[in-house]
Structure 1
């Protein structure tokens, strides 16, 4: 049994086997919000920022990608990455190299992998991929427009309804105070 949260394992699968960086963000953000006292929360935020940066890189939003990658580097400490089974020095170097590449005028997107230091975690991820017919460290599928543009194409009716409910509740609470 893994000592890593299932959400983090799911994040790694989405990141490496589906290249669904938007889903990486969704899965880990939900865990992060549900576990506000987790000592690795800053690292989870850093991982979320890496995934969103990758999403922006692939779509050509280089300014957003740079900002998120810089923030991620600030949130990912070597100690926390080690606790998440990540090879900290190698990952930090990959992120810094990508940041340098993003600042070049001829930047061309290419997938990035998170180097895992924990062989048990790597084995678990590969087994999960095999069991679900996914390929670990597969290339991004640029023909999948839903994957590439997920934030604009997904069903947001639930989010919109929740925002509306929250707005009404705040308005009602303000009226009670007045």
Structure 2
């Protein structure tokens, strides 16, 4: 959809379709890193933190959930959310309520929907969900380990290789007497 970055659409599709909050985080974090001067950069961070907070909450990590969801509130700007096609005031209210409920252990985990205000954005997201075989607004599959424990199960070989390469480069510089 031209009006909104495709990454925002993808975030919303995974957020409401397969409820893969880890993927939401990955998609929007990569976009945010590529576009550090985006006019809504802080709000993008807030949306990333909402996804991470819900990932933690669904896994039973209350402290992580409260920390991330609470922190997101300092980044979420209602006008910027509106500029991204979302109902800013309602979204912030829902996150604030979720923080309170999580702090108090008031209710068991339940999926949180982000209110999409722009009907064209909503239509685009629902269409993409259908093409991917997702049902918009579906309930999380709490038995799917890739949704619950993805941080433990994902392929990190590229990260491990890069760290090894950097370590080797540092060793070579030290041998040659160079400085870092």
Once residues 60 and 169 of structure 1 are traced to their aligned partners in structure 2, the CA distance between those partners, rounded to angstroms, is: 40
Aligned residue number for residue 85 of structure 1? 85
- Give TM-score scaled by structure 2 length: 0.93
The answer on 1:48 being equivalent to 2:48 is yes
Deviations 1:59-83 (A, max 9, x none): 0001011011111000001111111
Once residues 105 and 116 of structure 1 are traced to their aligned partners in structure 2, the CA distance between those partners, rounded to angstroms, is: 27
Aligned residue number for residue 26 of structure 1? 26
The answer on 1:13 being equivalent to 2:3 is no
Matched pairs, number = 178
Q: How does 1:6-155 map to 2 (within 5 A)?
A: 6-155=6-155
Q: Which range moves more in the overlay, 64-73 or 166-175?
A: 166-175
The answer to whether the 8 A contact 1:126-1:136 is kept is: yes
Once residues 147 and 130 of structure 2 are traced to their aligned partners in structure 1, the CA distance between those partners, rounded to angstroms, is: 21
Structure 2: gaps (5+ residues): none
Query: Equivalent residue of 1:96, what SS?
Result: helix
Aligned residue number for residue 159 of structure 1? 159
The answer to whether the 8 A contact 1:49-1:72 is kept is: yes
Aligned residue number for residue 177 of structure 1? 179
Once residues 89 and 5 of structure 1 are traced to their aligned partners in structure 2, the CA distance between those partners, rounded to angstroms, is: 21
The answer to whether the 8 A contact 1:8-1:28 is kept is: yes
- Give TM-score scaled by structure 1 length: 0.94
Judging changes above 3 Å, is the alpha-carbon distance between structure 1 residues 46 and 171 closer, same or farther for their aligned structure 2 residues? farther
Structure 1: gaps (5+ residues): none
Query: Equivalent residue of 2:73, what SS?
Result: helix
The answer to whether the 8 A contact 1:2-1:121 is kept is: no
1:128 deviates by: 0.8
